[in-house]
Amino acid sequence: MMVHTYLPRLRSQRTLGLLIAFILLLICFALRYFTPLRLTYVAFYPAIMLATFVAGRWTGAAVSIVAAVLALYFFRESTGLEMDSTDWWGLGAFLVVSAIIIFMTEWLATAVTRLSAQSQRLVRSEEYTRVLMRELTHRMKNQYAVILAMARVTGRSATSVEQFLDAFTRRVSCLSRAHDLLVKTEWKGVSLRELIDLELEPFTTVYSAVGPALEIKDSAVVYLGMALHELATNSTKHGAWSNNEGSVKLQWRVDGDQVVFEWVESDGPEVGAVAESGFGRTLLENLVPPALGGESELVFDPSGLRWTFRVAAADFLVSDSVPAEAEFASTRGASA
């Protein structure tokens, strides 16, 4: 058994400490009374030290006082004489030495207790680090899978190396921005409004957004950020943001135990034929919904594209508390 591990437990149980101190006194009394030992004070020093170490300085002080009383008893019993000045000096020296022993033992016990606390913190820190490393490994594997999927689909739709590099770089940058937000919040969730503003910032956009101020889980940040990026890219190339008249409205609400998020375009070019496949459509219909345990609907209405995403609030939100609804609008001037 390691002393620094069990000492704090002993010192926290005052009754047990007093019992140990009493037993030590009985042992010293027995050694003095039933053996030929005639050392009046020396036999009590170990009891004072151990009592202080286990039960604290006040218990050690009590043991030293009781030991002094017992020493006087043994002196009178063995000699039958009154104590002279030398004997009183001896008693005083015993009390002084006892005080020094108590002080040094208490200091040592405090150091051992602190060592125990530091050791426990170190163990917890190591356990926490192992958990983080496992979680990081899991996240990195997921991200590698997403990046590989992006590379494959982007490569199939690209007609040149330059086009592939441009599209792929933009999508990786989208992932990077989402991770920057997560690092900023220490992976404790992200404001939905902040995620929207960050992911739409690279585009020349005018949009409105309506909904309660929600904090979404870290597991949803990356996937929703990718969805916003693909929607904004499509809108810039083919949709509402491809002319000067179109507009985009983002709206979300808590509907019972679900969160409903919508991207609605209007007043843009008339939506024509739609490709059956592509990374954007694959992500919006087949990647984001199953990854977050939700469902989506992508509608190519002639008046504008609409994407509706439904997900369980428990899987999407950091907490169940929903503030009052607030409307805000954002205007960005960055070039696409």
- At 322 the pLDDT is 56
Query: Rounded distance, CA 150 to CA 226, Å?
Result: 11
pLDDT number for residue 104: 80
Look at residue 309 in the predicted model and tell me its pLDDT. Answer: 97
Which residues, given as ranges, of the chain have pLDDT below 50? 1, 3-4, 327-336
What is the signed CA dihedral for 150, 156, 161, 166, rounded to 10 degrees? -40
Domain 177-332 CATH (choose: 2.60.40.420, 3.30.565.10, 3.40.50.300, 3.20.20.140): 3.30.565.10
What is the CA 283 to chain-centroid distance, rounded? Answer: 31
Q: H or E stretch including 293? A: none
The two three-digit tokens of residue 308, written as one number: 């509706």
**What are the residue ranges spanned by the domains of the chain?**
3-125, 177-332
Return the structure tokens found at 73. Answer: 């008893």
How does pLDDT run across 154-171, given as a tens digit for each residue? 787 778 888 888 888 888
Cβ neighbours, 10 Å, residue 196: 22
114-129: buried (b, 16+ CB within 10 Å) or exposed (e) per residue? Answer: ebbeeeeeeeeeeeee
Q: What is the pTM of this model?
A: 0.60
pLDDT score for 262: 96
Q: What is residue 335's predicted lDDT score, i.e. its pLDDT?
A: 35
pLDDT in tens, 208-265: 888 888 999 888 898 999 999 999 998 998 888 988 788 899 999 998 889 999 999 9
CA distances 333 to 26, 165, 175, 202, 204, Å, are 87, 24, 22, 9, 5
Q: What is the dihedral of CA 21, 24, 25, 27, to 10 degrees?
A: 160
Looking at residue 307, its pLDDT comes to 96
pLDDT at 334: 37
Q: Which residues contact 70 (CB under 8 A, 6 or more apart)?
A: 25, 28, 29, 32, 44
pLDDT of 101 = 79
Contact between 38 and 78 (Cβ < 8 Å): yes
**R_g (Cα) of the chain, nearest Å:** 38
